[in-house]
Every structure is written in structure tokens, then in C-alpha cells.
């Protein structure tokens, strides 16, 4: 608006209808359109006279109201098992048995076989890095062995990372159960230690081939959700952030962002791969793999003064305003805040809860 037509501070302005041409804002470029993996911006500006618009159609109005705004996006995701990791064999010999893709391998079960002897899975965070047996010093690898033997039902005595006679006896009993020589000793290649029970994703080794090298690719047994975001949407995918998951069967549940990985898209722009855990771990073992819609929430405002985006007017002098619906044509310059769900937060002189304004259209 011209300096003669508006007051300092952007307060209400009166102007003659026959001299004012109104620019209607159909949308604002910063509006986040809820859709697959992105934010879409668009603007529709058209110049029409207020008087001719008034004659052509009835004026639609809305009221400035206080409401809670939450910025959010909806993106397509996939329910699966997450990225796979290779299993590398360390025991010398020939591969004599391999599982099928999709097989679930639990603690103590055979993961593959070398020279007709099973190589079982142990669960832990420290791999076997030395021979274990009587006389070995205490350490985290001994603790992993003791915890697994205890979980499998063998009596090791005190589980404290010290290889005692109870540990040796429990190990021999387990070896007998597996059909192995009862040596009471364990070499690094005799077992595979992984963070949890696994699902076989792909078999990379060959029957009759060397057991030293990559043998399998495995994933966890629980389902995960993966979704792709643009770099500009990083603020929505904070680690530990809560999300809503709408499953293909119509059910809705929640999840938590586990990790965010950065990659490069086809146009060399950075993309984000977000991995999400189901809040309900039991559901994660039952839900079918397939598509899912993920809702990410961003910034929020509690009790914000807001109105529909289409009520904004692009002012000729720059910035945005709203038109009061009562009395002579009156505009209020406004400052824009958060955009969310087709609404926009507004503030400025004369802008108050209950103010009725004209909606463009």
C-alpha cells in the first residue's frame, strides 16, 4: 500500500474501492502440500477489482480463530526388514549346509555348516576374537558366551565374564547337544555373534565353497519402516521422533525414528533414508511387508491466531494482508507465521480472535 494509504506499523487502511485493485492469493508459495516425500510450492495470483468481484459472486468469509497448528508431511514408506548385513565366516573348511532365504535363525541355532559341523548363532555385541577355554583371562567375549549358555538353559554358575569350571561344563553340554566334539573350548570361527536373532536375506556362499569369506546377508527378524525424504525435510526426521503409520490394511499405529542416512538422488541432490521402528514390537513381527504412509510432524504452535491460507491478500506494496468483512473495505497488513493443514498463523495491528475476513475465490 502507498505511504499515504497506510499507517506506520501496518495497521488498518481505508481506501476507495474504485481506486483499489485487489490481488487475491489462491495459495502461498511456502505452503507444504501433504504428499509423497516432498513439499510442493505453488502460487495463484490474479488481479480483479473488489467491486466487480462483489457483483459477480457473494463474498465468502471466515473468522480469525485460535487453534493449535502442527506442521506435517505425509510420505510413502515401505514395511520391510531394513538393510541387510553380511556374515563373514572365519572357520577354515568347506561349506556343507546353507539356510534358505527368509529363514529365521534364533539364538543357539545353526546359521550354516562347515565340514558337516554346525556354526551356531550367539547373541551379543562382542565378537569372538580368541580361543576360549580353561585358563583364559576374563573378558567381554567370555561374558557373551556365558550369557548365551544361560539363556539356552545351561547352568554356568556365576555369569561374570570369568571362564570357570561351570562355564566349561555348560559349554561341553551344549556341544554335545549340537553333535559337536565335547572339548569345552571355543574357537572364534566356531560361532557367529550378532546383535540379535536374524532373518536370512540372501545366501552369498556356495555349497562346496570355502567357509572363509562372506556366507550370508542377514537382517533383523522384526519389521521396520523405511521412507525417503528430501534434504529440505530433515527437520521432520529427528532421531527418536514419533511418527504415525497408516498400514495398507487400514490399521494405524505409531513408530519411532531409529536412524537417518544421507544418500544421493538421481539428480545428485541429497536424499534421506529414514528407518523407523514400530512402537508395538509384537505388531512388528506380524504386520505384512508392503506400502505404508508415514506422517512426520514438524514445528507446532499452541493457541495460534490462524485463518485459511486463501484469506490472504497479496498487497501491491509488498507483503500480505487480510480484508475485514464488515463496513467499508478495510485491509490489515499481517505477518505470517507457521503454515499447517491449509491454515496460516497471522499477527499484526488490528488482527484479533473473532475478526471476520473475506476469503478469496
Do residues 93 and 178 both lie within one domain? yes
The three three-digit cell numbers of residue 39, written as one number: 513439499
Note the pLDDT of residue 57. 57
CATH of the domain at 305: 2.40.420.20
Q: Which residue has cell 565340514?
A: 115
Look at residue 2 and tell me if it is in a domain. Answer: no
Closest CA relative to residue 193, chosen from 123, 267, 93, 290: 123
Look at residue 62 and tell me if it is in a domain. Answer: yes
CATH of the domain at 229: 2.40.30.170
Closest CA relative to residue 360, chosen from 319, 308, 317: 308
Q: Report the greatest alpha carbon distance in the chain.
A: 101
Strand partners, 234: none
Report the DSSP pairing between strands 21-25 and 343-347. unpaired
Do residues 33 and 99 both lie within one domain? no
Do residues 169 and 189 both lie within one domain? yes
Q: For the chain, what percentages of helix, strand and coil (3-state, to nearest 5) are there?
A: 15, 45, 40
Domain that holds residue 308: 12-71+300-359
The three three-digit cell numbers of residue 244, written as one number: 504415525
Boundary residue ending a domain (184, 205, 220): 220
Q: Are 306 and 334 in contact (CB under 8 A)?
A: no
Look at residue 155 and tell me if it is in a domain. Answer: yes
Closest CA relative to residue 13, chosen from 333, 347, 310, 346: 333
Cβ atoms < 10 Å from Cβ of 127: 15
Look at residue 6 and tell me if it is in a domain. Answer: no
Q: Which residue has cell 471466515?
A: 62
Do residues 58 and 148 both lie within one domain? no
Do residues 235 and 327 both lie within one domain? no
Do residues 160 and 124 both lie within one domain? yes
The three three-digit cell numbers of residue 154, written as one number: 545351561
Q: Indicate the Cα dihedral angle 260, 261, 265, 271, nearest 10°.
A: 30
Do residues 17 and 106 both lie within one domain? no
Boundary residue ending a domain (299, 318, 334): 299
| pLDDT tens for the chain, residues 1 to 361 | 333 333 333 444 443 333 333 333 333 433 333 333 332 222 333 333 444 444 555 678 999 999 999 999 999 999 999 889 999 999 999 999 999 999 999 999 999 999 999 999 999 999 999 999 999 999 999 999 999 999 999 999 999 999 999 999 999 999 999 999 999 999 999 999 999 999 999 999 999 999 999 999 999 988 999 999 998 899 898 899 999 999 999 999 999 999 998 876 666 677 899 999 999 988 888 888 899 999 999 888 999 999 999 999 999 888 999 998 876 678 889 999 999 888 999 999 989 999 999 997 6
Look at residue 4 and tell me if it is in a domain. Answer: no
Strand partners, 47: 23
Do residues 136 and 202 both lie within one domain? yes
Note the pLDDT of residue 270. 77
Do residues 144 and 198 both lie within one domain? yes
The C-alpha angle 129, 152, 157, rounded to 5 degrees, equals: 80
Strand partners, 121: 192
**Residues counted in the chain:** 361
Contacts of 41 (CB under 8 A, 6+ apart): 29, 30, 31, 33
CA distances from 182 to 118, 133, 141, 192 (A): 14, 12, 20, 19
92-139, pLDDT tens digit by residue? 999 999 999 999 999 999 999 999 999 999 999 999 999 999 999 999
Instruction: Give burial (CB, 10 Å; 0-12/13-18/19+) of 18.
Output: exposed
- Overall domain count for the chain: 3
Closest CA relative to residue 346, chosen from 335, 355, 354: 335
Do residues 140 and 189 both lie within one domain? yes
Note the pLDDT of residue 28. 40
Look at residue 61 and tell me if it is in a domain. Answer: yes
Look at residue 1 and tell me if it is in a domain. Answer: no
Note the pLDDT of residue 316. 87
Look at residue 3 and tell me if it is in a domain. Answer: no
Please tell me whether residue 19 adopts helix, strand or coil conformation.
helix
130-164, pLDDT tens digit by residue? 999 999 999 999 999 999 999 999 999 999 999 99
Do residues 215 and 99 both lie within one domain? yes
Note the pLDDT of residue 267. 61
Boundary residue ending a domain (178, 200, 220): 220
CATH of the domain at 175: 1.10.101.10
CA distances from 244 to 247, 253, 285 (A): 10, 6, 18
d(CA 272, CA 227): 8
Do residues 341 and 283 both lie within one domain? no
Amino acid at each position: 500500500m502507498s505511504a499515504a494509504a497506510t499507517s506506520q506499523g501496518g495497521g488498518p487502511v481505508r481506501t476507495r474501492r474504485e481506486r483499489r485493485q485487489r490481488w487475491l492469493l489462491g495459495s502461498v508459495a511456502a505452503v507444504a502440500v501433504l504428499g509423497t516425500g516432498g513439499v510442493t510450492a505453488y502460487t495463484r495470483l490474479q488481479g480483479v477489482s473488489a467491486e466487480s468481484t462483489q457483483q459477480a459472486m457473494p463474498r465468502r468469509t471466515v473468522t480469525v480463530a485460535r487453534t493449535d497448528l502442527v506442521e506435517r508431511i505425509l510420505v510413502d514408506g515401505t514395511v520391510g526388514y531394513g538393510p541387510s548385513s553380511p556374515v563373514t565366516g572365519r572357520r577354515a573348511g568347506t561349506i556343507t549346509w546353507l539356510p534358505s532365504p527368509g529363514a529365521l535363525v534364533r539364538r543357539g541355532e545353526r546359521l550354516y555348516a562347515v565340514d558337516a559341523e554346525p556354526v551356531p548363532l550367539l547373541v551379543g555385541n562382542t565378537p569372538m576374537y580368541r580361543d576360549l577355554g580353561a585358563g583364559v583371562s576374563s573378558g567381554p567375549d567370555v561374558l557373551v558366551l556365558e550369557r548365551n549358555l544361560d539363556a539356552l538353559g545351561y547352568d554356568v554358575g556365576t555369569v561374570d565374564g570369568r571362564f570357570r569350571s561351570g562355564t566349561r561344563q555348560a559349554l561341553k553340554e551344549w556341544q554335545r547337544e549340537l553333535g559337536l566334539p565335547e572339548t569345552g573350548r571355543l574357537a572364534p570361527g566356531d560361532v557367529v555373534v550378532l546383535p540379535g536373532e536374524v532373518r536370512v536375506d540372501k545366501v552369498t556362499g556356495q555349497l562346496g565353497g570355502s567357509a572363509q569369506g562372506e556366507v550370508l546377508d542377514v537382517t533383523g527378524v522384526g519389521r521396520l519402516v523405511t521412507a525417503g525424504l528430501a534434504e529440505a525435510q530433515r527437520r521432520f526426521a529427528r532421531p527418536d521422533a514419533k511418527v504415525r503409520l497408516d498400514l495398507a490394511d487400514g490399521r494405524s499405529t505409531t513408530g519411532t525414528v531409529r536412524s537417518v542416512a544421507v544418500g544421493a538422488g538421481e539428480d545428485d541432490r541429497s536424499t534421506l533414508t529414514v528407518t523407523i521402528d514400530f512402537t508395538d514390537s509384537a505388531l512388528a513381527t506380524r504386520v505384512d511387508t508392503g506400502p505404508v504412509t508415514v506422517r512426520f510432524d514438524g514445528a507446532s504452535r499452541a493457541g495460534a491466531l490462524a485463518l485459511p491460507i486463501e484469506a490472504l491478500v497479496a498487497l501491491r506494496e509488498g507483503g500480505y494482508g487480510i480484508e475485514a468483512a464488515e463496513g467499508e473495505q478495510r485491509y490489515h497488513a499481517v505477518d505470517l507465521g507457521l503454515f499447517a493443514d491449509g491454515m496460516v498463523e497471522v499477527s499484526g495491528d488490528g488482527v484479533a480472535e473473532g475478526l471476520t475476513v473475506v476469503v478469496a475465490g
